[in-house]
C-alpha cells in the first residue's frame, strides 16, 4: 500500500524548526503539486532551489534523514495566496492524483501526506469560533487561537472498506459520478455515535440493500486523498443476495468469483489489496 515504504522509515513527530538548504519543500496550488521527474522518479524542490522566494515554512515530517516542509507564500493584505504562480526551472505542477501511480513510493507517500496537511493548514487559518488568526503550536502539530483558546488538530476521518463474501464470490461495485472508474468495495465514513462495525452494517445496507454477519477486521491504511483513516473489514452475507442499488452512490454492483476478477494489484490502496487477497485465495 502507499504507506508501505520500508526499508525507508517515516517519522511524523512534530518539530518547530526551520528548513535548511537540502530539505525538501512541498508547494501546492489547489490540487496541484510542484515537482519534477529525474531518472523516472518524482522529486520536490529543495530550499536551496527556491532560496529568496517569500515563503512561510511548516515542518511536516522526515523520511529517513530527509526533512520535508510545506511552503505557503507570504502575501500582503487582500492578496489571494492561491493566485501567486511559481516558475522554477525544470519543475512544473501535476495533479496530486499522480501519487497513485508514481514509481517512487516514498516520494508519493510524502507528497500526498503533505497535501493532506496543506488542506488542513489552509482551511484553518482563522479561528472557527471567534475569527482571530490561528497560531501553530511549538510542541505538537496543532493550531490554537490566542484569543479564545480554541484548538484544532489535523482532520482524520474514520472510514470503512468492506469485502462482503457470499460463498466463493465477492461483492464489487463501481462508484457513480466519480473519476475513479475501476471496481471497488463498499465503503463509507463512520457517522457520529456509531462503531466501525455498525458503519459496516449501515453502509452495506444503504448502498446495496444487504445484511451481513461475522464482521472481522483485516487491516488499516492512512488515505490522505480523502483525509481518512481507512479500516478494512471482511464479512459474510446474511440472507438474500438480491442487490438493491443506491444509484446516488453506485453505478453498478455484483457478485464475482476469483476467476472473474481481472484487476491486478496496484500496491497503493487497501481496497485493491483486499480484492487481490480474495482473488488469490488468501481468505480460504
C-alpha cell at 241: 443476495
CB atoms within 10 A of CB 66: 16
- Model confidence at 75, pLDDT cuts 50, 70, 90, reads low
Domain spans, the chain: 10-123, 125-154, 157-279
Q: Give the pLDDT confidence of 189-199 residue by residue, as tens digits.
A: 999 999 999 99
- Per CATH, is 157-279 categorized as 3.30.160.150? no
C-alpha cell at 209: 440493500
- Model confidence at 87, pLDDT cuts 50, 70, 90, reads low
Output the CA–CA distances (angstroms, integers) from residue 136 to 34, 110, 156, in the order listed: 24, 21, 18
Q: Give the pLDDT confidence of 115-155 residue by residue, as tens digits.
A: 999 999 999 999 999 999 999 999 999 999 999 999 999 99
d(CA 35, CA 22): 15
Q: Residue for cell digits 512534530?
A: 14
Report the chain's mean pLDDT, rounded to a whole number. Answer: 92
C-alpha cell at 93: 505542477
pLDDT at 33 over 80: yes
**Is 72:60 a contact under the CB 8 Å cutoff?**
no
Q: Give the pLDDT confidence of 177-231 residue by residue, as tens digits.
A: 877 779 999 999 999 999 999 999 999 999 999 999 999 999 999 999 999 999 9
Amino acid at each position: 500500500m502507499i504507506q508501505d515504504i520500508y526499508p525507508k522509515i517515516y517519522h511524523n513527530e512534530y518539530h518547530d524548526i526551520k528548513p535548511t538548504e537540502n530539505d525538501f519543500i512541498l508547494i501546492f496550488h489547489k490540487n496541484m503539486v510542484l515537482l519534477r521527474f529525474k531518472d523516472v522518479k518524482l522529486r520536490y524542490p529543495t530550499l536551496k532551489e527556491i532560496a529568496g522566494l517569500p515563503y512561510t515554512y511548516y515542518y511536516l515530517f522526515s523520511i529517513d534523514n530527509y526533512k520535508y516542509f510545506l511552503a505557503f507564500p507570504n502575501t500582503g493584505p487582500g492578496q489571494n495566496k492561491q493566485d501567486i504562480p511559481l516558475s522554477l526551472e525544470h519543475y512544473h505542477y501535476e495533479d496530486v492524483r499522480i501519487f497513485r501511480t508514481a514509481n517512487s513510493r516514498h516520494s508519493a507517500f510524502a507528497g500526498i501526506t503533505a497535501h493532506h496537511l496543506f488542506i488542513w493548514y489552509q482551511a484553518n487559518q482563522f479561528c472557527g469560533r471567534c475569527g482571530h488568526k490561528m497560531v501553530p503550536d511549538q510542541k505538537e502539530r496543532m493550531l490554537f487561537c490566542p484569543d479564545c483558546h480554541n484548538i484544532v488538530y489535523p482532520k482524520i476521518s474514520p472510514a470503512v472498506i468492506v469485502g462482503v463474501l457470499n460463498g466463493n464470490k465477492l461483492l464489487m461495485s463501481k462508484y457513480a459520478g466519480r473519476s475513479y472508474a475501476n471496481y471497488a468495495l463498499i465503503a463509507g465514513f463512520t457517522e457520529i455515535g456509531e462503531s466501525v462495525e455498525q458503519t459496516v452494517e449501515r453502509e452495506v445496507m444503504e448502498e446495496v440493500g444487504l445484511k451481513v454477519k461475522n464482521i472481522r477486521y483485516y487491516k488499516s491504511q492512512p488515505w490522505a486523498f480523502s483525509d481518512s483513516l481507512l479500516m478494512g473489514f471482511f464479512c459474510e452475507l446474511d440472507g438474500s443476495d438480491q442487490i438493491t442499488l443506491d444509484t446516488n452512490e453506485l453505478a453498478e454492483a455484483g457478485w464475482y468469483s476469483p476467476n472473474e476478477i481481472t484487476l491486478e494489484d496496484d500496491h497503493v490502496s487497501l481496497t485493491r489489496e483486499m480484492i487481490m487477497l480474495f482473488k488469490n485465495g488468501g481468505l480460504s
